[in-house]
Amino acid sequence: NTKISESQAVQIADCLSDKNSLKGTVRITKANKSTIKRLRREIGKQAKGVHNALVKNVKAKVVEFDERYGFAVRKDQAVWEGTAIDPISKLTISLCVGNRDEFMAQRLMEDVQQRLKDPSDLLAVSDGFISYQTNFAQIYGRKYSSKNKQGKKTTIIITAN
């Protein structure tokens, strides 16, 4: 519903996918800032729809759960991004944005469970964030077992067996 040509919309999408900032994209494409924001939201909705349609019945036996700290919109709007990745194929199975808390871990793990073809024999690896441990038994119906790796970081290995 934007009043720009398809070629300009593609140029804007290319700039954004190349990690250009909003201001940088305005400078490169000469498009209005509000048009780029609107198009960015629409691209995000479309990407989410494609991901939801295609990432089903994933045959992953190992899932890495991790979070990272970043910024949204402005540097003073910090957010956490939780990701679940199949380390073999490098497929991002699920992604959640929000506070680094039990609710985000729960949403992430529930979404992964729904996307996996067979979550009964899952090996889940995390950096030791306690919310993964507390949510695993509730979501996957089995207790977790943990093993410590040597070094500063603790790796929690959770199995559904």
- When pLDDT is cut at 50, 70 and 90, the band that residue 77 belongs to is confident
Q: Which helix (H) or strand (E) holds 69?
A: strand 62-72
* Average per-residue pLDDT for the chain: 84
Token readout for 95 is 């992604």
Could you report the per-residue pLDDT of 51-73, keeping only the tens digit for each? Answer: 999 999 999 989 999 999 887 66
Beta strands 123-126 and 62-72 are parallel
Please tell me the pTM assigned to this model: 0.77
Backbone angles phi, psi at 147, to 5 degrees: -130, 140
DSSP characters for 73-136? SEEEEEEEEEEEE-TTT--EEEEEEE-SSHHHHHHHHHHHHHHBS-GGG-EEEES--HHHHHHH
pLDDT digits (tens, 9 = 90+) for 116-129: 998 877 888 888 78
pLDDT above 60 (res 152): no
Query: What b/e sequence results for 126-148 when a residue is b if at least 16 CB atoms lie within 10 Å of its CB, and e otherwise?
Result: beebebbbebbeebbeeebeeee
Q: Which two tokens stand for residue 113?
A: 């469970």
Q: What is the pLDDT of residues 10-48, one digit of tens each?
A: 999 999 999 899 999 999 999 999 999 999 999 999 999
Report the greatest alpha carbon distance in the chain: 57
